[in-house]
Amino acid sequence: MAVALRFERIASDPGSAARTGRIHTPHGPFDTPAFMPVGTLGSVKGLLPHEVAATGAQVVLGNTYHLLLRPGHRTVARLGGLHRLMAWDGPILTDSGGFQVFSLGHLNRIDDDGVEFRSHVDGSLVRLTPEISIEAQNALGADIIMMFDECPAGDAPRAVHEAAV
């Protein structure tokens, strides 16, 4: 079976760790470092897919938490995946939902297994664990998925940062 992702180093600076590269995905390659337009809810706001491509963007980012709330990862899967929903044939990276643990801290409760959010959409309780995050990202059909993480505030006590790792 072929490897789904492959990193190719293009150039390196011998005096530092700086490098450029290319990541090969099932939906084509993209160069690094890369600018990733964010399609939070399955589209890049204010731009049609061909306009996103015209900016030179080679990869876009989808937000797992927001897509989990609406339309739902299972709905996206039934519709043919995020590529079809976004009408984007290039690579897509999805985040884990972990940033929302930080940014929506006033709407969540963290425990050892994950986090429970109060949906800002309809007030329902939404459970997000590492397993649910991976399941959702796979259902969305992303080329690159992120592990579930916790992003504590920069001014949080050291113990909070250590526990988040």
Question: Which of 28, 42, 133, 30 has its CA nearest to residue 82?
Answer: 42
| Mean pLDDT, the chain, whole residue set | 93
Domain boundaries in the chain?
34-164
Position 1 pLDDT exceeds 50: no
How far is Cα 163 from Cα 165, in angstroms, rounded to an integer? 6
Q: Look at residue 71 in the predicted model and tell me its pLDDT.
A: 96
* pTM, rounded to two decimals: 0.91
CB 136 within 8 Å of CB 156: no
- Per-residue pLDDT reduced to its tens digit, 44-96: 999 999 999 999 999 999 999 999 999 999 999 999 999 999 999 999 999 99
**Residue 123: what residue type?**
G
How far is Cα 48 from Cα 159, in angstroms, rounded to an integer? 44
CATH architecture of 34-164: Alpha-Beta Barrel (3.20)
- 61 forms beta bridges with 38, 93
